[in-house]
Structure 1
Amino acid sequence: MVLALKDHFVWDSWYVYDGEKYHCYFLKAPRSIGDPELRHVNVSYGHATSTDLVNWDHLGECFRPSEDGWDNYTTWTGSVVRGNDDLWHLYYTGTRQNDPQLAQKIGHATSTDLHNWERVGDGLILDLVGLNAHHYEVDVSNGEWHDRAMRDPWVMPDPEGDGWLMYFTARAPGVAEANDAGCIGFATSQDGYNWTLEPPVFVGGFGQLEVPQVFEKKGTWYCLFCTANNHYSEEQTSLRPVVTGNHYLIGDSPRGPWRIAPGFLDGTQPCTRYAARIVDTDDGMFILGFADRPNGIDFIGHIMDPEPVEITEDGHLIIPPKLKAAE
């Protein structure tokens, strides 16, 4: 049973397990807006729970843009973790109305029940400023790219220390080919509240590497991301199928070095599934993402049922082909 809402488009999602249930957070917008492309600026968060990633209980809206803050236009994709203070922490993307560059920044809210969220202060915790800002594209007024990217924060405990790591979608400056400037941005924190912008952990290959998710499995580090067929660099166009969907980097540590995995994990043209996450369970790993435009025309807008993900002997991720039903 897919996670679908009759009256809302549903797209990017992220997941956290509380010890008993999986919590899914997702971007949603009313279908009454008509054009699904308008969903991005009519967005709020939905929340649903499940014990099996298949059957979902929808709990309603749980977060939305502020009335008149730095994030009063959109609240986009984020991640949720449990902090050392026993609070749940939401890290999210925000933008402000009437910003000509659509500059994205990172916000922070906390919760005791995983549904009611309260911004920490005004919410803003990270922007492309400071000593390491020169590693990022901070000005797109020349029109070479459509937005000043800093979004989709993925936060996790630092396995090499006591603090926290954040990965996000961004772009590097001074790259000759616009579709070779996408990067995985990086920040660190000791307490989850105060963050330091660091240089990117990976640059290149695509114009944008969206919705990063970093995890370790069997001693190998992976960074899941999604990208579109029109955002491949010239080099990547020659190396792999030009499709839209979900692929990954392979790393030696959470700080890299990272490299693009061969082939393409989960892509089609037109796009079937986008903005996917991999959820690790007692029964194995499963990929979930939203149904995009599988026929190339109609936007579907729901979370697809999970499919299993396996790791090959050489450390690559695969989605095994579905077995045909017995005749």
Structure 2
Amino acid sequence: MHNHQEQIEKANNEIAKLKERVMNHEWNLHYHVMPQANWMNDPNGFSFFKGEYHLFYQHHPYDPKWGPMHWGHVKSKDLINWEHLPIALAPSEDYDKDGCFSGSAIEKDGKLYLMYTGNVWIEGKLDEDLKQVQALAVSEDGIHFEKIKENPVIAEPPEGDINTFHFRDPKVWKHENTYYVVLGSKTKNNTGQALLYRSRDLINWEFVSVMAKGDGNFGFMWECPDLFELSGSEVLVLSPQGVKPEGNDYHNLHQAGYVIGQLDYQTGQLQYGPYYTLDHGFDFYAPQTMLDDKGRRILIAWMDMWESDMPTQEFGYSGAMTIPRLVTMKEDRLYTLPVPEIEALRLKEVYYDNVMVDGGKSLDDVQGDCLELKVKMEVQNATMFGLKLRVDELTDQETVLHFDKQEGIVSLNRDKSGKGPGGVRKTEVTIEDIVSLHIFIDKSSVEVFINEGEKVLTARIFPTKEAKGISFFADHQMKIESLHKWNLNRSIS
């Protein structure tokens, strides 16, 4: 165990050297969780323990690019003001020497347990050159973790049509008096699937069954599965790799979405309906949810995408989390909205009502690069309308949210958003008399919630400091029925 503590100290020292420079960089986000330095990807171990929210994340503390995975760690009393804690897990044992991959957390007997995938690279064929096992680490205080002596607690994938190399991302929960875990997997012929295990004590696990398997265009590997109950149904959130584009859907490298169904806990079979995307923007992957002490289901995801250009890397950091989102169900669809706690960050309200737009329109004091915007637009005669965010006319920068009433489509265009990848993402949306928008802009991100969470579009953008303009446009008459704008306080130190 000494080796584990040594590896953690070494990693913490590395981050300490760099964090001040990173914090003051112009693209460093003010109210989104980011690493203090170097690389971050998937959220891990999102949980509520001893009155506080804990969020861990995949972290490479020595480089702004992906590498041997550690678990970074932040905690919060309110989901908004986050405090960085020492690194929780580092590769240190023969079963996890090349990475402590993604996993989850659960409280048992007043202690916080992390369940994660230990990864080891083996010389051999690429993509078949790894051994993945499931392991546990435990903490009394929620900060200092020790890997248990019984590790690995799941040492081999089960028999059957199950790929023996890709076997990861345990999400653990308790149902009645039994612990369950769902794992990401694929078949020998590369069809994504999820595996279900159960245990009485978190240490001795029994394989139940292949819980769900892809059919048709459903990817070659299911990563980061998460199963939870909501409104009397079971929801399986997952991140399928290798889904092919269809129409306006699935244009990111990998996807993140959900199915709704019923889980038979005896057989371990999930009967489920259609697959839906959770966020229709560019940068959203590996979402993980938790249940808090208020009984709310809260989701957070990695606000980036694999193999995307990340312009912050040359400044020593990369990766961020979305703002935490409240998950509810409406007519067999998930709706996601920002957690209301974010209202505590609001400064200086600007308010307008009944403003006519025909052509283009900007409003005094409605601009910025760290803000919240709530708008209700009465469509009236407009057939094409929307907003431009992070505008700088001198350098021709803008990020455009465009509604097409005839087609029933909203698009987010970042071709002129500054540095980084461009592109357009589109999705179907209800466009009736009133369209409501809830938009969060941070130094290098934008999150757009449409019609109270019916659709969400998230993007990382990297404009210059000068790009702070916001303007409305419409091809025919449209009315801004109401607009609230707040600057938002920095909440992560």
Ranges in structure 1 where 5+ consecutive residues have no aligned partner: 139-147
Identity %: 19
Give the number of aligned pairs: 294
* Superposition deviation, residue 218 in structure 1: 1.3
Q: Deviations over 1:280-300 (max 9, x none)?
A: 443844331122149942264
TM-aligned CA distance change 1:171 to 1:153, over 3 Å: same
8 Å contact from structure 2 (residues 47, 55) kept in 1: yes
* Superposition deviation, residue 260 in structure 1: 4.9
* Superposition deviation, residue 88 in structure 1: 2.1
TM-aligned CA distance change 1:293 to 1:79, over 3 Å: closer
8 Å contact from structure 2 (residues 183, 225) kept in 1: yes
Does 2:310 align with 1:310? Answer: no
Q: How far apart, CA to CA, are the structure 2 residues paired with 1:240 and 1:202?
A: 26
Q: How far apart, CA to CA, are the structure 2 residues paired with 1:122 and 1:279?
A: 26
Ranges in structure 2 where 5+ consecutive residues have no aligned partner: 1-30, 312-317, 338-435, 440-482, 486-493
Q: How far apart, CA to CA, are the structure 2 residues paired with 1:156 and 1:23?
A: 16
Question: Which structure shows the higher strand fraction?
Answer: 2
User: What is the TM-score with the length of structure 1 in the denominator?
Assistant: 0.81
8 Å contact from structure 2 (residues 196, 210) kept in 1: yes
**Which of 273, 278, 294 lines up with 2:284 in the alignment?**
273
TM-aligned CA distance change 1:285 to 1:80, over 3 Å: closer
* Superposition deviation, residue 262 in structure 1: 4.2
Q: How far apart, CA to CA, are the structure 2 residues paired with 1:47 and 1:6?
A: 10
8 Å contact from structure 1 (residues 133, 197) kept in 2: no
* Superposition deviation, residue 117 in structure 1: 1.5
Q: What is the aligned partner in structure 1 of residue 173 from structure 2?
A: 156
SS in 1 for 2:277: coil
Map 1:197-212; keep pairs closer than 5 Å: 197-204=207-214, 205-212=218-225
* Superposition deviation, residue 319 in structure 1: 2.9
Q: Deviations over 1:197-216 (max 9, x none)?
A: 23210111221221111110
* Superposition deviation, residue 322 in structure 1: 3.9
SS in 2 for 1:267: coil
8 Å contact from structure 1 (residues 105, 124) kept in 2: yes
Larger of the two Rg values belongs to structure = 2
Q: Deviations over 1:182-205 (max 9, x none)?
A: 110121112211111232101112
User: What is the TM-score with the length of structure 2 in the denominator?
Assistant: 0.55
Q: How far apart, CA to CA, are the structure 2 residues paired with 1:280 and 1:80?
A: 11
> Which amino acid counterpart does residue 251 of structure 1 have in structure 2?
G
Q: How far apart, CA to CA, are the structure 1 residues paired with 2:306 and 2:100?
A: 26
TM-aligned CA distance change 1:265 to 1:69, over 3 Å: same
SS in 2 for 1:209: strand
Q: Deviations over 1:37-92 (max 9, x none)?
A: xx1x32211111112212100012111111x4121111011111112x43322111
TM-aligned CA distance change 1:293 to 1:97, over 3 Å: closer
Relative contact order, CA 8 A, sep 6+: which one is greater? 2
Kindly report the root-mean-square deviation, in angstroms, between the aligned alpha carbons of the 2 structures.
2.6
Q: What is the aligned partner in structure 1 of residue 111 from structure 2?
A: 87
8 Å contact from structure 1 (residues 9, 302) kept in 2: no
SS in 2 for 1:210: strand
Q: What is the aligned partner in structure 2 of residue 24 from structure 1?
A: 55
Does 2:197 align with 1:167? Answer: no
